[in-house]
Amino acid sequence: MDVEQVKSVSVWPYVGFYTLMMIGLTAVFIIFALLFPSLGDSIGKAAGFGISFGSTSFASYKFIRKYLRLFNRPEYWKITLYSTLVSCVLSFLLMGLAVAGGAVPDSDTLPPLVWIFILLLAGLVAFGINAAGYSSSIGKTYLKAELARQARTSSEPFS
């Protein structure tokens, strides 16, 4: 059966998995940055990509493991949009904490239009990462792995 003909399911539990993984990976990165400050500065910019992609991968894998299929088109757009909104809200909160804590030098001199541009750019990047992470090309890899795992467990002799 084609994935587009399958009845849609709620993506909210998988947005929850995305949110939990994003919070968890962010906490791990913060602890890592506190333990190793010199490394935290050098990998800080790449960490955002890793956190977003890791969260997307986890949510996608949980969906595929439960339903043994990829997202259909409406599910794909819903989960991409909701995950992007979660990512933007969490990023906004973390940026607010960083600005309030004085971690962003000269943040009070930036005009509001620059802040809006920064938020829009961050939202577009988050949307792109989520769209790529939930895409069928990456999902097919998870689906193949899950089908192979199930074939191995079902073919093992009962002892």
Q: Where are the domains of the chain?
A: 3-155
In tens, the pLDDT along 41-95 reads 678 778 888 999 999 999 999 999 999 999 999 999 999 999 999 999 998 898 8
The predicted model gives 120-144 an average pLDDT of: 93
Query: φ, ψ for residue 10 (rounded to 5)?
Result: -70, 135
The predicted model gives 82-111 an average pLDDT of: 87
